[in-house]
Amino acid sequence: MSSRIEKDFVFDACIHFENHFLINSYNVEISFLIETSDIVEQNTAIDRVGYFIYNCINHSLFIQDNEKEAIGKYKDAGLKVIETPEAPFDQILSMLLLVKLNTISEGRLKITDLTLGSTFSDGIRFCMVSEIAEDVVNTTDHNLWWNQVSICTKNGVTQQDTSDSNILKLFEDEGWAEAGLSWQPKQKKK
């Protein structure tokens, strides 16, 4: 099934830029293609997008990953820090968000377009398409938060204690089960 739907989101986040702590509000318009005929999966995928925006990035702080001293101070202060590969301008945030939201939708929805504007963008909105975002940001390193299916916003992987085996467990159910947003097992047709 290939229907198109759109949904708008609003969230607040801080940015660290040129040694300043700034509070910003973001408006995001997202266009999706529905890639599954299962209505439950469609709803779960759109709910995952909303959950990630409202529970994982809302009230967080975006900061370039090379700002190690500032990152340490913000983490020590208890802030929810999200590292970006470049300065956290709206354009790079739109790319990272598009890639992450496509990743967590796991093929049930495909974000084709994402438009992001913010208080600091002075009325300018960045209209991003998936092909451009996927060409610009690293989409092959699964240690980067935007390439992880989990609700995680930190780079790296978690390792579960496997006692007497050498199996690396990457995000058991990726945190979605606790949010009630796991994919339901397919029913076998009789």
pLDDT for res 190 = 57
CATH classification of 4-175 is 3.40.50.300, yes or no? no
Average confidence (pLDDT) per 10 residues, the chain, 190 residues: 89 96 97 95 96 97 97 97 96 96 96 96 93 90 91 68 41 75 76
Residue 7: what pLDDT? 97
- SS3 state at 32: strand
Please classify residue 10 by burial: count the beta carbons closer than 10 Å to its beta carbon, then call 0-12 exposed, 13-18 middle and 19+ buried: exposed
For residue 161, what pLDDT is reported? 34
Residue 112 is classified by DSSP as E
pTM above 0.75, yes or no: yes
DSSP state of 172: G
Question: What is the separation, in whole angstroms, between the first and last Cα of the chain?
Answer: 23
Residue by residue, DSSP assigns 114-135 as: EEEEEGGGTT-EEEEEHHHHHH
Q: Which of 146, 152, 156, 142 is nearest to 176 (CA)?
A: 152
128-146 per-residue burial string, b: 16 or more CB within 10 A, e: under 16: bebeebeebbeeeeeebbb
Q: Where are the domains of the chain?
A: 4-175
Q: Which helix (H) or strand (E) holds 9?
A: strand 4-17
